[in-house]
Amino acid sequence: MKPSADQIFDALDETILRSAALLIPAVQRSEWHREWHAEFWHVRRSCRTTGSFSWPAHREITAFCLGSFPDAFCVLRQSWLPPSQPARTPAAPRPRLDGSAAQYLLCLFVVLAVCVILARLEPGVRAETDTSRYQVSPGLILIQAARSGDNLTPSISADLFRNWKATRQRYFDQFAFYRTARETAPVSSAHVARWRVAHASLNLFSMLGLQSRFASAATEDDRDVPSVILSHETWTRDFGGNPHILGGLIRFGHRTAKIAGVLPYGSWRLPGRPDAWILEPDAQLASDAPEGGLGYLLAHLTPRGESEMLGDHVPIAHDGDPNDLELCGVSFANRLQGPWGIYRFALFLALLALPAVTSVTLGESNYSAHRPSRKITFIRWTFLGAKFALIASIANFASLDLSYWCASTYSPLAEFFQLVWCFSICLFGFRWALSDQRQRCPVCLRRVSHPAQVGLASRTFLGWNGTEMMCMGGHTLLHVPSLPTSWFSGQRWLYLDTSWEFLFADSGLL
Amino acid sequence: MAADAKLSHTAAMILQAISAGVGYGFSIMEMTGLPSGTVYPAMRRLERDKLIRSQWEKQSIADAEQRPPRKYYNLTALGKSTLEASRKRYPLLERLISTEEASSR
């Protein structure tokens, strides 16, 4: 038997009432629910005058049930008050966060919480934020052919690497080299994987400052067996994340290597994206290199080199290459700084650009003798500061979430998107926060409402024309000119004294 | 709470409706046109401030009419005097919700 639409809506409405009842303290819950249930019965009978299904009737019934939430919150608030506390009496305006201001902050906080949760779930973001904690050696550059430009391409031969390493260098004190090649590796009896393997010098990881996980100690028997470091992706994809493969042997083509460790997820920021790294002595690197096989050369700058080789691209003069190749050093410090550097830069840019998209003043001017107290002013500025802080935090996490939604690990494109998203969210978020602040009563932080058109544009010289809005607490009127003039260029607050209170009973009992 | 305490227009309307004999939440909603999310919390506060009091109707009455028993509200002495003060402040209140109109419902 299929449930009818009426039954489905009844169940929905009942669920709403029961959900609201959960907010009520347990001792009051049954009576509260009994009252709402009895009223619900009458609402249903009143709205369902015809036997057939009616959308407006159900909408009305559901709207009635949704009203149980404000009531439940009211009961909850009352239960928090001590029993001896007297009922609220009408009093002078007190500095407090009005409901809408508190809700505003709560909404921002919820958005931030969602962004943080998403960031923890997305592997790309996890890798990015984790990598930013690694200590990567400073002063590293990648040396390549000048003709490659911005593209990081393999352009250095292993012979040149050996040459440079063997000779005394003024600007460099350490070199490391790697070249990548496609090789097969039998990962199980049934499956032969085809990996991109990096043949690297023994000091590559120590120079980068990267430590592999589960590193196994070398034994006497391993002297002639090269070590292989697996990428985290390869380890999980081809070995199911099994830690017991560490120390085992694996064949690459005609050669056997010992699995010595796994590189932490997302820590490799250099070009090539290898699945595994075989660490070999320099002589073997040069002898095993195929004809014309090129790779990447990393160099560590001496203090003198650091002071003289400033910039992202620096030409490198050398005389060690018979082919007279023009070389340049490419700094990849940006690649190693993690997302925080980009975030800080985007935040700085957004703050710089903010005056271009909105006025940064809050319309503080007023033409009455009444001024809010220091306490009220402090709360108002704290509210603005909290909004900025929350928006800035949201921008950080949301930009990472959006940039690494599809990218599982670092990529220059993801970094670019992070910068764009972060800048956009900060800029428009701050603009929104400022425009919201300008429309909030400086006394109670309620948004002003009930806009009324005042004056005529044709009589601007006789009196101002624009929009007048009022605080429903009866504290202020906001005047916004339609045509800014030399004597009325920005919005103004008019603080109302207590003689206006009788018009605004909102600050009274209820 | 002092009888001369100022009520908002909403609270005064609800008090006026109860005074006119409309004693149930949903009936007050119908009479005032206010939504449930406004009426019920307002009644909680009025009851907290001892301007109204609530009472469950007898089970036997509800059983006879085959419906759940309802909680109905009426004014306290303090509520009556506060409403009297509010009528001076909101002179149109009695015209909005008159006793005759309420009793005809």
Domains, chain B, in order of start with CATH, read 9-90 (1.10.10.10)
pLDDT band at A430 (very low <50, low <70, confident <90, very high): very high
- Is residue A218 in some structural domain? yes
* Three-state SS annotation for A227-242: EEEECHHHHHHHHCCC
* Pair (A185, A324) in one structural domain: yes
Of B10, B81, B101, the C-alpha closest to A504 is: B10
Q: How far apart are CA A356 and CA A377, in angstroms?
A: 26
Can you tell me whether residue A221 is helix, strand or coil? helix
Asked if the Cβ–Cβ distance from B38 to A67 is below 8 Å, we say: yes
Coil/strand/helix, residue A493:
strand
Q: Do B41 and A39 touch (CB under 8 A)?
A: no
Tokens 């992070």 correspond to A418
Contact (Cβ atoms closer than 8 angstroms) between residue A195 and residue A234: yes
Give chain A positions within 8 Å (CB) of B57: none
Residue A246 C-alpha from the chain's centroid: 36
A121, part of any domain? no
Amino acid at A36: W
* One domain for residues A173 and A314: yes
What is the structure's pLDDT at A89? 43
Indicate if the pLDDT at residue B83 is higher than 80: yes
- A272 sits in the region (left: phi over 0; alpha: psi -120 to 50; else beta) called left
Best residue of A17, A30, A32, A35 to probe chain B, by most B CBs closer than 10 Å: A35
- Number of structural domains (chain A) is 4
Cα→Cα distances A98→A271, A471, B12, Å: 54, 11, 22
**Cα–Cα distance for residue pair A495/A61, rounded to 1 Å:** 42
> Is residue A276 domain-shared with residue A315, that is, in the same domain?
yes
Could you tell me if residue A87 is inside a domain?
no
A201: which strand partners? A280
Query: Predicted confidence band at A11 (pLDDT cuts at 50, 70, 90)?
Result: confident
* pLDDT band at residue A390 under the 50/70/90 scheme: very high
Of the candidates A304, A336, A368, which is a domain's last residue? A336
Give the best residue of A49, A71, A89 to mutate against chain B (max B CB count within 10 A).
A71
Average pLDDT over residues A371-399: 90
What tokens were used for A198? 């990096």
Alpha-carbon distance of B60 to B56, in angstroms, equals 11
pLDDT of residue A30: 87
- Assigned domain for A443 exists: no
In this predicted structure, the answer to whether residue A479 has a pLDDT above a threshold of 70 is yes
Task: Tell me the residues of B at the A interface, defined by beta carbons under 8 Å apart.
Answer: 1-2, 5-12, 24-26, 29-30, 35-42, 44-46, 48-49, 67-71, 89
Whether residue B103 is predicted with pLDDT greater than 70 in this model: the reply is no
A294 and A220 in a common domain: yes
Residue of chain A whose Cα is closest to the Cα of B25? A39
Residues β-bridged to residue A133: none
Determine what percent of chain A is predicted with pLDDT higher than 90. 10
Tokens describing residue A90: 């009408």
Partner-chain residue, chosen from B5, B49, B71, that has the shortest CB–CB distance to A90: B5
Q: Which of A202-211, A290-299, A419-428, A440-449 has the highest mean pLDDT?
A: A419-428
Which residues of A lie inside 8 Å of B (Cβ-Cβ)? 34-35, 37-39, 41-43, 46, 63-71, 73-75, 78, 86-87, 89-90, 502, 505-506, 508-510
Is residue A201 within 8 A of residue A280, CB to CB? The reply is yes
Give chain A's length: 510
Q: What pLDDT sits at residue A395?
A: 94
Residue ending a domain, among A438, A467, A486, is A438
Q: What percent of chain A shows pLDDT beyond 70?
A: 80
Using a CB-CB cut-off of 8 Å, the residues of chain B touching A35 are 25, 70-71
What is the reported pLDDT for A503?
A: 64
The yes-or-no verdict on residue A210 having pLDDT over 70 is yes
- List the end-to-end C-alpha distance of chain A, in Å, as a whole number: 49
| Cβ neighbours of A42 in B, within 8 Å | 24, 26, 67, 70
Same domain, A172 and A301: yes
Residue A349 has pLDDT above 90, yes or no: yes
- Tell which of B16, B32, B39, B44 to mutate to test the A interface (max A CBs under 10 Å): B44
CA distance A193 to A186: 6
User: Are the beta carbons of B44 and A74 separated by less than 8 Å?
Assistant: yes
One domain for residues A155 and A225:
yes
Tokens describing residue A277: 């790294």
Nearest to A510 among B11, B24, B36 (CB): B11
- Note down the domain range covering A47: 5-80
Q: Which amino acid is at B59?
A: Q
Residue A218 shares a structural domain with residue A302? yes
Chain A partners of B26 at a C-beta cutoff of 8 Å? Answer: 39, 42-43, 46, 64
Inter-chain touch A508–B44, beta carbons under 8 Å: no
Strands A466-470 and A294-301: unpaired
A458 in the same domain as A420: no
What pLDDT score was predicted for residue A60? 87
Is B69 close to A46, i.e. CB distance below 8 A?
Answer: no
Residue A241 lies in a domain: yes
pLDDT tens for each residue of A242-298: 888 888 888 877 778 888 888 877 677 777 788 888 888 887 877 777 777 788 888
Q: Which residues of chain B have a CB within 8 Å of the CB of A66?
A: 36-37
Domain finish residue from A277, A302, A336: A336
Question: For residues A141 and A232, what is the distance between their CA atoms, to the nearest angstrom?
Answer: 25
pLDDT for A175-205, tens place per residue? 888 888 888 888 777 788 888 888 888 888 8
What does the pLDDT average to over A87-97? 44
3-state SS, residue A440: strand
Give yes or no: residues A494 and A416 share one domain. no
Condensed to tens digits (0 to 9), the pLDDT of residues B9-67 reads 888 889 999 998 888 888 898 888 888 888 999 999 999 889 999 999 888 888 888 88
Q: Is A254 within a domain?
A: yes
Give me the mean pLDDT over the A330-342 stretch: 71
ipTM metric: 0.88
Q: Is the pLDDT of residue A329 over 50?
A: yes
Interatomic CA distance for residues A459 and B7, integer angstroms: 41
Nearest residue to A478 (alpha-carbon basis) of A453, A432, A441, A436: A441
| Residues ≥6 apart with Cβ < 8 Å to B72 | B23, B24, B54, B55, B57
**Same structural domain, A353 and A331:** no
- Angle between helix axes B25-32 and B36-48 (nearest 10 degrees) is 120
Q: A273 or A392, which is more confident?
A: A392
Burial status of residue A173 (CB atoms within 10 A of its CB: 0-12, 13-18, 19 or more): middle
What DSSP assignment string belongs to A239-272? HTT-GGGTT-EEEETTEEEEEEEEPPTT---STT
Does A139 score more than 70 pLDDT?
Answer: yes
Which pLDDT value is given to residue A391?
A: 95
Question: Does residue A497 form part of some domain?
Answer: yes
pLDDT of residue A92: 42
Torsion of CA A435, A438, A440, A443, to 10 degrees: 150
Q: pLDDT value at position A488?
A: 78
Angle between helices A123-131 and A374-403 (to 10 degrees): 110
Same domain, A174 and A270: yes
Please report, for residues A90, A503, B8, the alpha-carbon distance to residue A475 in angstroms, rounded to integers and kept in the order given. Answer: 14, 11, 16
DSSP code per residue over A260-321: EEEPPTT---STT--SEEEEE-HHHHHHHSPTT-EEEEEEEE-HHHHHH--SSEEEE-----
- A356 and A269 share a domain? no
Q: What is the mean pLDDT of residues A146-152?
A: 66
Q: State the nearest Cα–Cα gap between A503 and chain B, in angstroms.
A: 10
Highest-confidence range of A111-120, A310-319, A451-460, by mean pLDDT? A111-120
Distance of alpha carbon A462 from alpha carbon A442, whole angstroms: 29
Task: Report yes or no on A118 lying in a domain.
Answer: no
Rounded-to-integer distance, Cα A359 and Cα A362, Å: 8
**Distance between start and end Cα atoms, chain B:** 32
Quote the mean pLDDT of chain A. 79
Both tokens of residue A295? Answer: 């790779």
Q: Where are the beta strands (DSSP E) in A302-448?
A: 313-316, 327-331
Instruction: Provide the token pair at A54.
Output: 């009616």
Contact list, A69 vs chain B (CB under 8 Å): 37
Contact B6 A75 (CB under 8 A): no
